Structure 1
Amino acid sequence: MNTNEFWALIGDAARDGGTPDTVADRAATTLASRDTSEIVGFEQHLRRVLDASYKVDLFGAAYLVNGGCSDEGFDAFRGWLMAQGRDAYARAVGEPDSLAELPAVRRAALTGEELGSEKMLAVAATAHRTATGTELPEEPAAKRPNTDDFWDFDNEDEVRRRLPRLAALFNEAPLE
């Protein structure tokens, strides 16, 4: 599975809208109907996408948007971000502050909703189990950055400097 096929499958699953978990369910159903090698290829590509997106400033953005973030929370946040589509994902990886443009992020600033989807991370595992009745062969865990490279995500001045649009959105929004 190549990059275009990976994102096309996600885009097709998102076409009718719904939550990221609904998108994940649709993607898993579609993927389960394909050859096992494509299911494994989807998982391998997902790992590459996760590895490429493990950026400190994107982690900081997830921390701000979700009111805190663990490694697992960051994975789930990126699962949610995948369900937003290729363009939104690529934009956020290159410029995490661009997340301020997404309607769901703007809504989260008002409601305090946490954005994440573990189901998006399990699309291939679900498809493989459905198609074969067996577990997906394990892939190496997604890489993790050195936490020494993290900046202080609770430092409001640093947040405003690195993520000005998100900082304005979340500092001005009345949380319930």
Structure 2
Amino acid sequence: METLLIYKDDLSNKFWKINVTGNSFTVTYGKVSTVGAVKTKEFESEEICQKEANKLIQSKLKKGYVVAGSSEHVVKESAITEAFFWKLLETAKKKGEDPDEQLEWLVNHLSRRSVKDIVMFDYIFNQYYYKSYTSNLWAAAYIVMGGCSDDSFDYFRAWLLYLGKGTYETIIQDPEKIIPHLKILEEEGDVPEFEDLLYVASMAYEEKTGFDDEHYYNLYEQLSDDKYVQPKMEFDWDEDDEEGLSNKFPVLWERYGENPLG
């Protein structure tokens, strides 16, 4: 349930919005046409949550707020677009000599933006991240690293996203195009994984608010309406079938089949 109220007089033009989901609600408030501030609260039951939400709504109505006819031009959802998301990743690469320093800059930058911007950054990241959950890509990661667990594939996909949109999309279509991007890792004896990139948003949120990742993920669920459920993977390859893997990706197999990274 979502309720959007506005209040306007000679001195004020502001909004107040509450979104109730299960046993918690999120309140967004501020000047009209801004993203506003965000607060969230959790209760012991859905019934208690709804009751408290109704009390807040009635309190606002008594103070002169009225129900908004439309949310258009009332609440600015976020300044983070897909183009800006990819630009942030590219900028981060210039802000440090190694991924750890770059990640630190990215977390710090996001922590200075609005909570909605943090959530939108994470939402866009996740939409691309979900698309990379493919059998082909997992087979490629398995060959490159000489094995690839569920967790390892998660970290591999995060690393892939960090390469940038064009490279990400190219490798999704043809995993063997990944080879040029592995040369530095070969020299350093490293593997193509970037686990901490998965937690950038929750780290930025904690730095901004002091609340932990559990608090953030509850908020993310309410603000993003991200309903994704990871599907069961249908593999078209067998980890014990070396001939099948070599036939599937001959170039990758020739380079890493007997000499995987890591």
- 1:170 aligned onto 2:256: yes
Give the equivalent residue in structure 1 for 2:163: 84
- 1:123 aligned onto 2:203: no
8 Å CA contact 1:110–1:174 kept in 2: the answer is no
Is the deviation greater in 88-97 or in 3-12?
88-97
2: CA distance, partners of 1:2 / 1:74: 27
Match of 1:144 among 230, 236, 258: 230
Q: Which has the larger radius of gyration?
A: 2
2: CA distance, partners of 1:4 / 1:172: 39
TM-score w.r.t. length of structure 2? 0.59
Give the equivalent residue in structure 2 for 1:11: 90
Matched residues, number: 174
Is the deviation greater in 120-129 or in 151-160?
151-160
1:41/1:174 CA distance change after superposition, 3 Å: closer
RMSD: 2.5
2: CA distance, partners of 1:163 / 1:23: 32
1:110/1:164 CA distance change after superposition, 3 Å: farther
Q: Which has the higher contact order (CA 8 A, sep 6+)?
A: 1
1:84/1:148 CA distance change after superposition, 3 Å: closer
Structure 2: 5+ residue stretches without partners: 1-79
Q: Deviations over 1:52-77 (max 9, x none)?
A: 11111111111122221112111111
The structure in which a higher percent of residues are strand is 2
Give the equivalent residue in structure 1 for 2:143: 64
Structure 1: 5+ residue stretches without partners: none
The structure in which a higher percent of residues are helix is 1
Match of 1:132 among 209, 216, 231: 209
1:36/1:15 CA distance change after superposition, 3 Å: same
- Secondary structure of the residue aligned to 1:9 is helix
1:156/1:121 CA distance change after superposition, 3 Å: same
1:145/1:162 CA distance change after superposition, 3 Å: farther
